């Protein structure tokens, strides 16, 4: 197996994702600088995961060979990379992100983040769209970009750098828990359905040596899809649970007087 | 609340003192009396369920015994399990929550006292329905989880199973109503200064249990509704012979069943989290961890149900993921043991009976917990599933955990409830009888399970199993004797027990700030809360917690109780419809045959009626804003229009049903018709309920009722009505537009 992963075909060293990562890093450096090491570490992690998702065998196998590899890539792009990017933004004082236009005000609403984040998950697993994005390079890029953007919108109400735009703890828990329910349903559907969710993976055009080895080890396309469904189901929910734990920690900590005063305000607004 | 306290104080005994006192109990809406009613009812059923357990033990005392017939044995273990879970475990915990949650948060009553009475009365009603099955000649006998197809008509012709279903639906509705009540009470009725980060841990655990109940019980109700439709209307959801899926029942049952385990254990966690600190003279170690990890348990408990189904062949992948999930949930549960131990560490411990039961809880629950972790390993599960090892495991959890927690709470809170102390001497007798009984019975069963003795089989031939079964029988007798000692203790104490005073244990939380027993209105003056131990602060102003440790301040905001309760109800209903829709998708992914969605449904016509329903959401929204603006006549007109549009939708559905049924498309044709009529039928029922609620509002609005004109009632009904519309959008997309097929 080791020599199979070492196979040159399985590594996509010339992926344009390097360029994207570089541009993001430059933009970040110019805007925020590199002083805060913790924040820089989040950015580095995020970009490293982004590059890994496309350059490593994972990215190659996700490109029409293994549904489960596609699912891992999907989760990295939709959940892990955006989470790291949002966490890499330095904390700002209240009012630093004034919602300018009507659109940005709408996008900063939790409802938008929830529906777009979950929507991206569901939309790209409609068989027709999943197939199209796997077979066409351009649609594939659209899909990856939409994952990253909706992912950022999804995490914004939880980890926004401005405390003002974060959800109060109780709402944040509901937000994350219902998101877990959403991906659980999709995961259950993909795991147990008799339909082939993404036919492109069931009959790849060319066979890699790796694929033959996996097939011999029992990785048929049905098992592949089941594994994909379980990946859709359990890891995101685990991530949401960890996010809930961090929200609860924030809630129980005392010196967060600012957040409390804020919670006050939002709740009064909600009740009126 | 003022109305309820007025009622409580208005309970003047009538001329005949006996019937007056009886009437005051039957008609009560006081949370304390209802709590006692819950606990007493649970005690009655504990006697019945315990008797059933003793009969089982007698039958298994020696090989080839014929004391119980095989059929009667099946009925006994089915009724024992069902009784202990639904008629003893849940009611006794709800009873304690009912009594103590309002006291501990400084409230005068629960949020909805009348709803509380209804929740309680559904309990004896459901229990009697369940036990009435004996009159039909046979009690339910398909096990407490009634696996299909054993519970379906071809295998179970007697009406007993129907009694089981209807009884459980009653109990389920009562439990959800009680849970919504507790949920709203904790959120809305807290004393000033008591932020949610300061509530006593028993209150927090009650809140978590309420959330679990609200979201888990609908799974059981959906499954029960489907099973009932199978049995009474001839559908085939769970009959594999006609295309149904027996496994679907297992999935639905355990989606409810696993959270149910935590519904039974979290309040017990809360109880010993109150007892251990008080008898160690220390605050709990790691309050935030104990509370927060319980929230995590709530979330994780919905994701591990399939570990009850490792043996059915879900596939390697699924087994692996559920095994990992199961190991994960052991963390927030197991680590709490260290919190309780660390609370005792260095404390000045008083080993009262209550404290001793709490310590016994820690020891026995660890045994039950560890064997639970063993089952997370799939191969071990395959080897031991359906043996007495499983029986031993969950009895350690439920007795070592839940029952010992309840006993600990009984000795702790009995003085508050009655004003008299229980005897410590008799208490220790009870403790040791139960500790001996638990270990004798269920440790033996662990060994028997490893030796291969299967559960649910009426006898055995192996002579080598007799000795251990005899020990198990002796243990059961000891536990029964321990229970009799408790009853004796209560009896003696009520007659001539030592007076307890307001705060006999030096307790920390608000229930100890009032008299024992508390007056109907609970508190004359509600003390201001500034820390997690308000009564400690009052008694020890120099070393008050509020001076030593900062906790998040209360911001004073409380949600509106009617709107909150409707949101909780809607969440519960959403789970119910979700599971019904899942069953539709499961059975209709690839439709073949003459009768299917594409061939019998008229999408255009139903689409038009759907527009009427969705339009009614808009008109209701319009009515709400007109009411807010104070334009009453216009508001009434728009409300009327909403009712008309809703009625048009129902009329449309009636026409559709009439057309289908007259062309001989009925619920028992195939799985499409079964799922179609179930989903749309339940939705239609909800629309009708919504229409009734709206009509009542309209009637009251015409009469210028102040509650309606203030807007909260309309807002609450509005939440429900919009929810019904959203469900219809999902139903229309999935069934009529055939998404996900």
Question: Chain B 161-200, CB below 8 Å of chain A: which residues?
Answer: 196-197
Which residue from B minimizes the CA distance to A232? B321
Calculate ∠ Cα B605-B608-B613, nearest 5°. Answer: 130
Cβ-proximal residues to B550 (8 Å cutoff; 6+ apart), any chain: A254, A255
The CA distance from B410 to B396, in Å, is 19
Contact (CB<8Å) B740/A189: yes
CB A25 within 8 A of CB A46: no
Task: Enter the DSSP assignment of A41.
Answer: H
Residue B328 pLDDT > 80, yes or no?
A: yes
Residue B740 pLDDT > 50, yes or no?
A: yes
Give the mean pLDDT of B183-208.
96
pLDDT of residue B12: 47
Residue B49: band (very low, low, confident or very high) from pLDDT cuts 50, 70, 90: very high
H/E stretch holding B79 reads: helix B70-82
Which among A245, A256, A264 has CB closest to B292? A245
Residue A18: band (very low, low, confident or very high) from pLDDT cuts 50, 70, 90: very high
The CA distance from A48 to A46, in Å, is 5
Q: Which residues of A touch B554 (CB under 8 A)?
A: none
Residue A6 pLDDT > 70, yes or no?
A: no
The values of phi and psi at residue B214, to 5°, are -60, -40
The pLDDT tens digits for A220-271 are: 888 888 899 999 988 999 899 999 999 999 999 875 554 445 445 444 444 4
Shortest Cα distance, chain A CAs vs residue B512, angstroms:
26
Residue B646 pLDDT > 90, yes or no?
A: yes
The pLDDT tens digits for B308-319 are: 999 998 888 889
Residue B437 pLDDT > 90, yes or no?
A: yes
Domain ranges of chain A: 2-90+103-267
The pLDDT tens digits for B485-510 are: 999 999 999 999 999 999 999 999 99
By C-alpha distance, which of B329, B471, B483 is closest to B388?
Answer: B471
Mean pLDDT of chain A: 84
How big, in percent rounded to 5, are the helix, strand and coil portions of chain B?
A: 75, 0, 25
pLDDT of residue A204: 66
CB B130 within 8 A of CB B138: no
Residue A1: band (very low, low, confident or very high) from pLDDT cuts 50, 70, 90: low
Q: Tell me the Ramachandran region of residue B315: left when phi exceeds 0, alpha when psi lies from -120 to 50, beta otherwise.
A: left
Shortest Cα distance, chain A CAs vs residue B296, angstroms:
7
- The single residue listed with the structure tokens 């007259």 is B662
By C-alpha distance, which of A86, A257, A118, A244 is closest to A169?
Answer: A244
The CA distance from B674 to B235, in Å, is 6
Task: Enter the DSSP assignment of B246.
Answer: H
CB B49 within 8 A of CB B76: no
Task: Enter the DSSP assignment of B302.
Answer: G
Indicate the pTM of the whole model. 0.93
Beta-bridge partner residues of B420: B499
pLDDT of residue A2: 61
Which among A249, A252, A268 has CB closest to B557? A268
Query: Is the bond into B517 cis (omega within 30 degrees of 0)?
Result: yes
Best-predicted range by mean pLDDT (B84-88, B315-319, B698-702): B84-88
What does B534-592 look like in DSSP terms, one character per residue?
Answer: HHHHHH-STT-HHHH---PPP------HHHHHHHHHHHHHHHHHHHHHHHHHHHHSS--
The CA distance from B4 to B71, in Å, is 49
Cβ-proximal residues to A38 (8 Å cutoff; 6+ apart), any chain: none
Which residue from B minimizes the CA distance to A235? B321
The CA distance from B550 to B529, in Å, is 13
Q: Which residues of A touch B585 (CB under 8 A)?
A: 189
Residue B1: band (very low, low, confident or very high) from pLDDT cuts 50, 70, 90: very low
The pLDDT tens digits for B547-564 are: 888 889 888 899 999 999
**A234-248, B166-180, B546-560, B583-597: which has the minimum mean pLDDT?**
B583-597
Instruction: Set out the domains of chain B in order of their start, with CATH numbers.
Output: 28-548 (1.20.210.10), 583-736 (1.20.120.80)
CB B451 within 8 A of CB B379: no
The CA distance from A180 to A237, in Å, is 5
Touching check for B740 and chain A: CB below 8 Å?
Answer: yes
Query: Is the bond into B355 cis (omega within 30 degrees of 0)?
Result: no
By C-alpha distance, which of B681, B652, B648 is closest to B222?
Answer: B681
Residue A125 pLDDT > 80, yes or no?
A: yes
Q: Above pLDDT 90, what percent of chain A?
A: 42
Which of A178, A245, A246 to mutate to test binding with chain B, by most B CBs within 10 Å of its CB? Answer: A245
By C-alpha distance, which of B344, B343, B147 is closest to B238?
Answer: B147
**A53-62, B105-114, B339-348, B577-586: which has the minimum mean pLDDT?**
A53-62
Which among A185, A249, A254 has CB closest to B550? A254
Residue B11 pLDDT > 60, yes or no?
A: no
Cβ-proximal residues to B255 (8 Å cutoff; 6+ apart), any chain: B216, B219, B302, B305, B579
CB B483 within 8 A of CB B54: no
pLDDT of residue A255: 56
Mean pLDDT of chain B: 93
Shortest Cα distance, chain B CAs vs residue A268, angstroms:
7
């Amino acid at each position: 197996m080791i020599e199979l992963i070492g196979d040159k075909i399985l590594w996509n060293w010339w992926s344009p994702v390097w360029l994207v990562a570089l541009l993001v890093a430059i933009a970040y450096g110019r805007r925020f600088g590199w002083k805060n090491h913790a924040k820089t570490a989040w950015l580095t992690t995020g970009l490293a995961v982004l590059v890994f998702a496309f350059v490593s065998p994972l990215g190659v196998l996700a490109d029409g060979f293994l549904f489960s590899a596609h699912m891992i890539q999907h989760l990295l792009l939709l959940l892990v990379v955006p989470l790291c990017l949002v966490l890499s933004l330095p904390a700002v004082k209240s009012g630093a992100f004034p919602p300018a236009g009507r659109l940005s005000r709408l996008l900063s609403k939790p409802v938008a983040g929830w529906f777009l984040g979950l929507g991206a998950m569901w939309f790209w697993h409609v068989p027709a769209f999943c197939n199209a994005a796997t077979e066409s390079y351009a649609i594939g890029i659209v899909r990856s970009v939409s994952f990253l953007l909706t992912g950022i919108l999804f995490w914004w109400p939880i980890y926004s750098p401005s405390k003002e735009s974060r959800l109060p703890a109780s709402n944040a828990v509901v937000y994350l828990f219902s998101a877990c329910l959403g991906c659980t349903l999709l995961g259950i559907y993909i795991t147990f359905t008799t339909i082939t969710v993404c036919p492109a993976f069931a009959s790849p055009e060319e066979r890699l040596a790796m694929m033959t080895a996996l097939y011999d080890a029992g990785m048929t396309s049905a098992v592949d899809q089941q594994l994909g469904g379980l990946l859709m189901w359990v890891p995101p929910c685990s991530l949401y649970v960890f996010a809930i734990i961090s929200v609860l920690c924030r809630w129980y900590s005392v010196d967060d007087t600012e957040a409390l005063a804020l919670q006050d305000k939002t709740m009064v607004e909600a009740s009126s | 609340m003022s109305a309820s306290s007025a009622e409580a104080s208005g309970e003047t005994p009538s001329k005949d003192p006996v019937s007056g006192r009886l009437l005051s109990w039957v008609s009560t809406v006081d949370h304390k009396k209802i709590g006692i009613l819950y606990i007493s009812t649970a005690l009655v059923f504990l006697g019945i369920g315990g008797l059933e357990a003793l009969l089982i033990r007698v039958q298994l005392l020696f090989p080839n015994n014929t004391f119980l017939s095989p059929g009667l044995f099946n009925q006994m273990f089915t009724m024992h399990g069902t009784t202990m879970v639904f008629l003893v475990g849940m009611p006794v915990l709800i009873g304690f929550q009912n009594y103590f949650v309002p006291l501990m948060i400084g409230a005068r009553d629960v949020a909805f006292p009348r709803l509380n009475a209804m929740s309680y009365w559904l309990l004896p009603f459901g229990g009697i329905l369940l036990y009435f099955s004996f009159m039909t000649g046979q009690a339910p006998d398909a096990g407490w989880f009634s696996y299909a197809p054993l519970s379906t008509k071809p295998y179970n012709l007697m009406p007993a199973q129907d009694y089981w279903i209807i009884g459980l639906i009653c109990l389920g509705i009562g439990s959800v109503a009680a849970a919504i009540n507790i949920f709203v009470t904790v959120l809305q009725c807290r004393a000033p200064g008591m932020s949610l980060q300061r509530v006593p841990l028993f209150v927090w655990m009650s809140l978590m249990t309420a959330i679990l109940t609200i979201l888990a019980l609908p799974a059981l109700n959906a499954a029960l509704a489907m099973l009932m439709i199978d049995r009474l209307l001839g559908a085939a959801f769970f009959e594999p012979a006609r295309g149904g899926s027996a496994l679907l029942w297992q999935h639905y049952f355990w989606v409810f069943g696993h959270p149910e385990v935590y519904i039974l254990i979290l309040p017990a966690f809360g109880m010993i989290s109150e007892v251990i600190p008080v008898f160690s003279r220390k605050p709990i170690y790691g309050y935030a961890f104990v509370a927060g990890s319980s929230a995590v348990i709530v979330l994780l408990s919905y994701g591990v149900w399939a570990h009850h189904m490792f043996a059915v062949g879900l596939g390697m992948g699924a087994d692996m993921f559920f095994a990992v999930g199961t190991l994960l949930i052991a963390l927030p549960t197991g680590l709490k043991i260290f919190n309780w131990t660390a609370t005792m560490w260095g404390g000045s411990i008083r080993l009262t009976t209550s404290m001793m039961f709490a310590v016994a809880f820690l020891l026995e629950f660890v045994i039950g917990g560890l064997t639970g972790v063993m089952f997370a390993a799939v191969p071990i599960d395959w080897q031991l599933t359906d043996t007495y090892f499983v029986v031993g495991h969950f009895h350690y959890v439920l007795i070592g955990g839940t029952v010992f927690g309840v006993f600990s709470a009984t000795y702790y809170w009995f003085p508050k409830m009655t004003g008299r102390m229980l005897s410590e001497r008799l208490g220790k007798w009870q403790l040791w009888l139960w500790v001996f009984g638990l270990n004798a019975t269920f440790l033996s069963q662990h060994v028997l399970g490893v030796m291969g003795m299967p559960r649910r089989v009426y006898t055995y031939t192996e002579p080598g199993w007799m000795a251990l079964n005899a020990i198990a029988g002796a243990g059961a007798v000891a536990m029964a004797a321990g229970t009799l000692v408790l009853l004796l203790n209560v009896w003696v104490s009520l007659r001539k027990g030592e007076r307890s005073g307001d705060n006999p244990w030096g307790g920390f939380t608000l229930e100890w700030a009032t008299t024992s027993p508390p007056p109907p209105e609970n508190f004359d003056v509600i003390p201001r809360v500034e820390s997690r131990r308000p009564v400690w602060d009052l008694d020890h102003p120099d070393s008050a917690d509020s001076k030593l440790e900062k906790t998040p301040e209360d911001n004073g905001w409380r949600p509106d109780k009617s709107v909150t309760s409707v949101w909780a109800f809607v969440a519960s209903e959403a789970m119910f419809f979700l599971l019904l829709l899942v069953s539709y998708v499961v059975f209709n992914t690839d439709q073949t045959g003459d009768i299917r969605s594409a061939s019998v449904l008229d999408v255009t016509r139903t689409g038009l009626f759907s527009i009427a329903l969705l339009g009614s959401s808009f008109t209701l929204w319009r009515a709400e804003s007109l009411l807010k603006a104070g334009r009453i006549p216009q508001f009434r007109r728009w409300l009327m229009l909403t009712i008309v549009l809703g009625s048009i939708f129902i009329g449309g559905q009636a026409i559709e049903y009439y057309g289908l049924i007259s062309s001989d498309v009925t619920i028992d044709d195939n799985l499409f018709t079964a799922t179609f009529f179930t989903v749309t039928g339940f939705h239609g029922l909800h629309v009708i309920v919504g229409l009734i609620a709206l009509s009542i509002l309209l009637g009251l609005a015409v009469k210028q009722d102040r509650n309606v004109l203030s807007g909260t009632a309309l807002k609450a009904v509005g939440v429900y009505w919009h929810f019904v519309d959203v469900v219809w959008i999902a139903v229309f997309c999935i069934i009529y537009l055939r998404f996900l097929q």
